[in-house]
Amino acid sequence: MNIFWHILLLLGVVVCAVGAIRSGRLLVSAIWLAVCSALVALMMYLLGAREVAVIELSVGAGLVTVLFVFAINISGEEVQSVRAILPRPLALGLILVAVVLLAVLVWPREAITAAAIPQANFFFAVWQERQLDILLQVVIMLSGVLGVLGLLAAGKEEHA
């Protein structure tokens, strides 16, 4: 893949992450975070980590965003002015270090040919090699759905 697209995705992730942090409204921050997570999933997919990309997209961009939106809608969105914990130069330095590390990890090292990767059938790849990942994703999704149902049920009891 062309290095231009990797750099463009990296810049998109950084812009979305900064947008999520700098936004004044919680719902807007949740949307920025969802877009950031979707771009990270796309980056992982393009780098060859297809299973991790699918989990990131479904859990990070999907389930977490839905939970954030429900929690914000139920609890209400109160705007509070919060004092910064870290001094601004230290925070900017840490952000720069994180961006450089991300760029180093994303930068393509050498091309891996398709023949070098052993091909296994789908059943073996999912249920033998990635069994723990699949079960963890199912548990996270079920707990998220049950949490949202609990929040909705609690809201109905208050109105009754």
pLDDT at 111: 53
Task: Give Cα 78 distance to the centre of its chain.
Answer: 24
The CB density around residue 30, as the number of other CB atoms within 10 Å, is 19
Most confident of 34-38, 93-97, 113-117: 34-38
Structure tokens at 27: 């719902």
Q: pLDDT tens for residues 4-57?
A: 888 898 899 989 988 888 887 888 888 898 999 999 988 888 888 888 888 888
pLDDT (average), residues 89-116 = 73
pLDDT higher than threshold 60 for residue 73: yes
pLDDT at 12: 92
pLDDT at 158: 54
Could you tell me the residue ranges of all domains in the chain? 3-76+85-159
Residue listed under structure tokens 């977490």: 64
Q: What is the mean pLDDT of the chain?
A: 76
Q: Report pTM.
A: 0.56
- Domain 3-76+85-159 belongs in CATH node 2.60.120.650: no
